[in-house]
């Protein structure tokens, strides 16, 4: 058994660096990850990190990629609809545990690196659903857009460290803020503000997935039961 006390002298590797980056992001947020904090955490110099990783963008991409891989490993053996729900929930929960993931996914969507990963997993199920080939692309895009958009918005709620207690407080605060909006400008938002208070993020997220699935059924699978 290797001596525990020598942990800081374990060989530096890309994996260890990315792992430490994820930890820093999880514990102290996006601003908490700098080359100084990382250097300190790994008890090394800045140059050592640059030997394994090209720059900070690549480091963030690797961190995102790692968490994403875990999240997409849903793979329950259900119907296409169940698979789509499972993948969507996997992403949702990943953002819940790693709030920085939402921002990072949004930033990297703009660089095209993440899209195919999610696209592939959802697209296979769209095919299984029986959507005609000519509609695969459009249909999958719509689903992926909803999933990423909704998961991203839920990142707002995901920052409370304490799982449930603070979440209720947080929803209360947002709900109150919405109720205080200008009645002239925000009549609708004020009317639904109260609904925020009791609502379950996951449930609502899934309800949206089902809504899109219902649209797909109505438009592209006219003879489905």
Partner DNA sequence: ACCTGAACACCGTTCAAGT
Residues found near DNA in the complex (CB under 7 A): 11-12, 33-36, 43-48, 50-52, 55-57
Helix, strand, coil shares of the chain as percentages rounded to 5? 75, 0, 25
Map the footprint of a copy of itself across residues 132-171, applying CB under 8 A. 136-142, 144-150, 152-153, 155-156
Between 11 and 165, whose beta carbon lies closer to DNA?
A: 11
Report if residue 177 touches a copy of itself, rule: CB under 8 A: yes
Report if residue 119 touches a copy of itself, rule: CB under 8 A: yes
Q: What H or E segment, with its residue span, contains residue 205?
A: helix 201-220
What region does 55 belong to: left with phi over 0, alpha with psi -120 to 50, or beta?
beta
The single-letter DSSP state of residue 5 is G
67, two tokens: 């968490």
CB 130 within 8 A of CB 81: no
Contact string (CB under 8 A) for a copy of itself, positions 201-220, x = contact: ---x--xx-xxxxxxxxxx-
Map the footprint of a copy of itself across residues 21-80, applying CB under 8 A. none
Polymer length in residues for the chain: 225
Counting Cβ atoms within 10 Å, is residue 159 exposed (0-12), middle (13-18) or buried (19+)? middle
Of 195, 166, 165, residue with least CA distance to 178: 195
Report if residue 192 touches a copy of itself, rule: CB under 8 A: yes
What is the C-alpha separation between 19 and 116, in angstroms, rounded? 23
The single-letter DSSP state of residue 110 is T
Beta strands in the chain (DSSP E): none
Between 20 and 91, whose beta carbon lies closer to a copy of itself?
A: 91
Question: Which of the stretches 47-55, 56-64, 65-73, 122-130 binds a copy of itself when contact is defined by CB under 8 A?
Answer: 122-130
Q: Which does 224 bind (CB under 5 to 8 A by kind): DNA, a copy of itself, none?
A: none
CB 202 within 8 A of CB 167: no
Between 49 and 148, whose beta carbon lies closer to DNA?
A: 49
User: Shortest approach of a copy of itself to residue 207 CB, angstroms?
Assistant: 5
Q: Which does 55 bind (CB under 5 to 8 A by kind): DNA, a copy of itself, none?
A: DNA
Q: Which does 104 bind (CB under 5 to 8 A by kind): a copy of itself, DNA, none?
A: none
Positions in the binding site for a copy of itself (CB under 8 A) = 99, 102-103, 106-107, 109-112, 115-116, 119-120, 123-124, 127, 136-142, 144-150, 152-153, 155-156, 174, 177-178, 181, 185-189, 191-192, 195-196, 199, 204, 207-208, 210-219
């Amino acid at each position: 058994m290797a001596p525990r006390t020598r942990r800081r002298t374990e060989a530096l590797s890309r994996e260890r660096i990315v792992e430490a980056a994820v930890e820093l992001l999880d514990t102290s947020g996006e601003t908490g990850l700098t080359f100084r904090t990382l250097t300190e955490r790994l008890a090394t110099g800045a140059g050592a990190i640059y030997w394994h990783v090209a720059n900070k963008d690549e480091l963030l991409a690797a961190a995102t990629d790692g968490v994403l891989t875990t999240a997409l490993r849903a793979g329950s053996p259900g119907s296409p609809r169940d698979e789509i729900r499972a993948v969507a929930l996997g992403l949702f929960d990943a953002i819940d545990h790693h709030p920085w993931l939402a921002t990072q996914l949004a930033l990297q969507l703009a660089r095209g690196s993440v899209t195919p990963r999610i696209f592939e997993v959802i697209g296979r199920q769209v095919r299984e659903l029986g959507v005609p080939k000519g509609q695969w692309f459009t249909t999958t895009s719509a689903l992926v857009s909803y999933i990423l958009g909704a998961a991203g918005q839920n990142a707002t709620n995901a920052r409370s460290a304490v799982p449930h207690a603070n979440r209720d407080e947080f929803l209360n605060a947002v709900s109150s803020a919405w109720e205080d909006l200008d009645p002239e400008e925000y009549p609708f938002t004020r009317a639904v503000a109260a609904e925020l208070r009791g609502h379950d993020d996951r449930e609502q997220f899934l309800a949206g997935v089902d809504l899109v699935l219902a649209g797909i059924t109505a438009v592209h699978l006219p003879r489905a039961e």
